[in-house]
Structure formats: structure tokens, C-alpha cells
Amino acid sequence: MMKSIYQFLKERTWDLTEEWYQSLDKTQDGVYSSTNPQQIQKLKEQNHQFHLNFIELFNKDSDDMSAAFDRWVDKIAKDQGHLNTPLDQTIGEFFKVQAQYIDLVQVYIDGLDEKPSHKDVNEWNQIITKSLNNVIQEYSKKNIIESEKLLRSQQEMILELSSPVIAIRNDIAILPLVGDIDTHRAQVIFDKTLSQCNELQVQNLVIDLSGVAIVDTMVASKIFQVIEGLKLIGTTASLSGIRPEIAQTAIQLGINFKSVDTYSSLAQALTAYNAFH
């Protein structure tokens, strides 16, 4: 009895996976060049699951497979290995798989005694190309969304780590600010500083600006918001490390630091608080 194309493909899913893996360019960055045995096995299983889903498109008795494909695409798009792999590489691998199926359909046709109609062949090739195009589009959209989520998460982590309140003594802490401060980072600093000072029961906080290149009206305004907010929880704040060029810029912008104790350096501020005793 002549095998259906569905049966023919179903018997070759692992062959497709092994052939695909052997064809990978192992010199590229990302998941496809991993030398970790567990990662390699996971990659093969992910690819094989794709084939198990894909061949069901040729099964006349199978229900709509779109839901299964959606789950597979969603899982791969969230996979850390694939998130660490350039999108164009993954898309390239999808096109390799498409070529595999087109070649395998031809192998199936060549092995038949009675050749299928042009309509049947065209239908099979349409299934391959249209379905792979849909998978590529969906994967690309979901990968971009997940990559943006990961980037935001990493940025938030960097921001949190870049505004630490460091306890020097039970009653004294410092907040060393480094780098450029934009509106978003300024808000993170404001929120984290209040919560950390409240948690640590800080009485005196020295906000060190020696690592900040520019203090504009937005940065100054946010610093004073922090200082006023700290007063409400019983923490007195002072400033250190205001370099001459920053002081000159502050004067030109009309920023008034007179209501806050200021020190030329962090060491001077800590000495004033007897932090070294």
C-alpha cells in the first residue's frame, strides 16, 4: 500500500532534526553554536517538536494545528537561548527547514510509482511555504516583544544597582550617584532612596554628586524632591562632590543649594558627621 505523504514525513522527523543540526554554522554567536550537551539536546528537542507539529498540517484527519503552533512559537520566543541569538539567525534556520521539507516532498514524489497531480504537489508546497511564513512572522513579533521585555528588565536592574544607599554607620549612609541622570532614572533614584532610607532607618544621608557629569534643572529638581521626601521620614540629607563647573551651571540655572548642607568631597562630609569614629 502506498504511503501517504503524511506517513512518509512522520517517519522522518528525527532524521530532519539530525540533518538540520549537522548543517548548523557552529561559528556564530547564540544558541546554535552551543557546546553544552544539555543545551544541544534541548535545541534538538525544540526542533523535533516543531516537526511533530508541522507534519500534522499534512494529516487530513488532524484538527486545526494553529493552537499547537502558537504554543510552540510562544515557548521558543521566550526561550533564553533564542533570546540571546540574533533574530536574523533564527529566521535563517526557519528557511533551512523550509528547504528541507521542499526537498523531502520531492524525494517522496520520486519514490512513487504513480506520480501525484500538479494540484497535489502545489498544495503540499503551499502548505510548506505559507505555514513557514506564518511561523516566521509570529516568531519575529513575539521575539521582539520578549527581547524588549528582557531589555527593560535589565535596564531596571541596572538602574536599581546604580542608586544604592550604602550604610556607613547605623545613623549615616551615602548615596553615590554616577553617570547621566535622565527623567526615568531620577524617578527610580527617588523611589529607591526613600524606601532604602526608611528600611535602614537612616538619620543622615550624604548624596554624593562627584560622579555626575551634568546637573540640570531636572536633576536638581529631583534631588530636592528626594531631600524633601527624606525629611518626611526623618532623614536629613546633605550634598557632596559639587564640582566648580556644576556649581557654576547651578548658579546660571538659578538652582539654590543654600538650604542644604554642602561639602566639596565625600570625605569632608563624612568627617563632618564623625563617620570615621
| 152 plus 177 within the same structural domain | no
Distance CA 130, CA 146 (A): 24
| 223 plus 110 within the same structural domain | no
Q: What is the pLDDT of residues 117-149, one digit of tens each?
A: 999 999 999 999 999 999 999 999 999 998 888
Q: Is residue 161 part of a domain?
A: no
Q: What is the pLDDT of residues 202-216, one digit of tens each?
A: 899 999 888 887 777
| 141 plus 97 within the same structural domain | yes
Domain count, the chain: 2
| 123 plus 253 within the same structural domain | no
Place of cell 538659578: 254
User: Which pLDDT score is estimated for 29?
Assistant: 82
C-alpha closest to that of 241 among 212, 274, 208, 217: 208
User: Which pLDDT score is estimated for 15?
Assistant: 95
For residue 262, what is its C-alpha cell?
554642602
User: Which pLDDT score is estimated for 139?
Assistant: 92
Q: Is residue 110 part of a domain?
A: yes
Q: Domain range holding 108?
A: 5-156
Q: What is the pLDDT of residues 58-86, one digit of tens each?
A: 987 766 667 888 899 999 999 999 988 99
Strands annotated E in the chain: 166-167, 172-178, 204-211, 236-240, 262-263
| 147 plus 187 within the same structural domain | no
- Choosing from 156, 185, 205, the residue where a domain stops is 156
